[in-house]
Amino acid sequence: MKFKTFGAACAVSLGLATTAFAEYPERPINMVIPYGAGGATDISARTIAEPLNNAVGRPLVMANVTGAGGATGSVAVQNAKADGYTMLFARVGSHSVNPAMKATLPYTLEDFRFVTVYEINPVACAVSPNSGITSMDELIARVAEGGVTYSSSGVGSLLHIAAVMVLSEFGVTDPLTQTTHIPQKGGGAAATAVLNGTATFLCTNSSALASFVANKQLVPLMVTTAEPVPGFDAPTAADLGKPALHQLVGWTGIAGPDDLPDDVADKWGEWMATATADEEFLDKMTSRGSVIELMDPVRANEFIQGQYETFRKLVDDLGMRIEG
């Protein structure tokens, strides 16, 4: 993951590159969403698509390239030509949790150049109203009785590790054996599994749960933030005395292959500044509990590294690393 400073190239190189990419983009840009429809990444990408398209001035071709917990779509961009015409909606799962958890992941953080992180998305844990569970204390008591399951968007996903981290923080000594993980094909499917009673609970980004919570189809038990999340009538991690869970948040950023030129990266910085100031985009994202924070490459690097270290420690402590 290379976070070069925009405009850091030498004067001669900058002049040559500016000439080479003066007309970028000349054609549609392929935007890879590495997770399925209805999940947090898909929601974020498709919400910013219109204002971003207006800022770019060329069509953006959105494509869900799913599989392997976000790795399939990420590899597609890793191996793409670094000309700015194939870019990735990177996510906490694909670029913080996966690298921390999977020893055989076919990419590293160094294989990508991030142009920004633009969204912080809190995590919420929720159950079905039919479960009879109304609080985290009741959920933990149910774990002690046995038979509790949780859904996720796949092994090694944020949803997988979030449920384990929450259970661990609430005193479940061996969450990997005391509960059963039920992986699904995406975040939307994971929420549906709780909705139809296939799984007891899930912990996922607030944006993926907002509509279910608003329609009273799912009951939020907690949010991982220090401050309340709009639309979620649930205690915060601070309320419950679990400040360590404040680190458990989702994020969305945009990245290209590691050798993406400075000129192209500079363009993305300009476009994202315009797109994230769009009032309709801000209203939609805020209503889902997201915090829009446009990070420059240096700040994004620090943030992602901090997330990676958090999850790597949890994976090591609980023995969750996938070696094969």
Distance between CA atoms of residues 268 and 89, nearest Å: 13
Distance between CA atoms of residues 213 and 215, nearest Å: 5
pLDDT of residue 104: 87
- Asked whether 194 and 126 are in contact (CB, 8 A), the reply is yes
Q: Which residues are registered as beta bridge partners of 205?
A: 123
By CB atoms closer than 10 A (0-12, 13-18, 19+), residue 109 is: buried
Distance between CA atoms of residues 32 and 199, nearest Å: 29
DSSP secondary structure letter of residue 110 = G
Q: Tens-of-pLDDT digits for all 324 residues of the chain?
A: 554 444 443 333 444 444 445 589 999 999 999 988 888 899 999 999 999 999 999 999 999 999 888 899 999 999 999 999 999 999 998 999 889 988 889 999 999 999 999 999 889 999 999 999 999 999 999 999 999 999 998 887 889 999 999 999 999 999 999 999 999 988 888 999 999 999 999 999 888 898 999 999 999 999 998 989 888 999 999 999 999 999 899 999 999 999 999 999 999 999 999 999 999 999 999 888 888 999 998 898 889 988 899 889 888 888 888 875
Kindly state the tokens that stand for 67: 């599989």
Kindly state the tokens that stand for 185: 């094909």
Helix (H, G, I), strand (E, B) or coil at 203: strand
In this structure, the strands spanning 149-152 and 180-183 are: parallel
Its CATH architecture, for the domain 29-121+249-318, is 3-Layer(aba) Sandwich (3.40)
Distance of CA 85 to the CA centre of its chain: 22
Does the domain made of 123-246 have the CATH classification 3.40.190.10?
Answer: yes
CA distances from 211 to 40, 43, 123, 284 (A): 12, 12, 15, 12
DSSP secondary structure letter of residue 111 = G
Distance between CA atoms of residues 122 and 213, nearest Å: 14
Kindly state the tokens that stand for 136: 């985290």
pLDDT of residue 8: 40
Q: Could you tell me where in the chain the CATH 3.40.190.150 domains are found?
A: 29-121+249-318
Select from 270, 250, 302 the least CA-distant residue to 84.
270
By CB atoms closer than 10 A (0-12, 13-18, 19+), residue 188 is: buried
Which amino acid, 40?
A
pLDDT of residue 110: 92
Distance between CA atoms of residues 129 and 115, nearest Å: 41
Which amino acid, 25?
P
pTM: 0.81
Which amino acid, 245?
L
C-alpha neighbours within 13 Å on the C-beta side of residue 24: 23
Kindly state the tokens that stand for 104: 């055989």
pLDDT of residue 264: 94
Q: Give the number of other CB atoms < 10 A from CB of residue 21.
A: 18
Q: Could you tell me where in the chain the CATH 3.40.190.10 domains are found?
A: 123-246
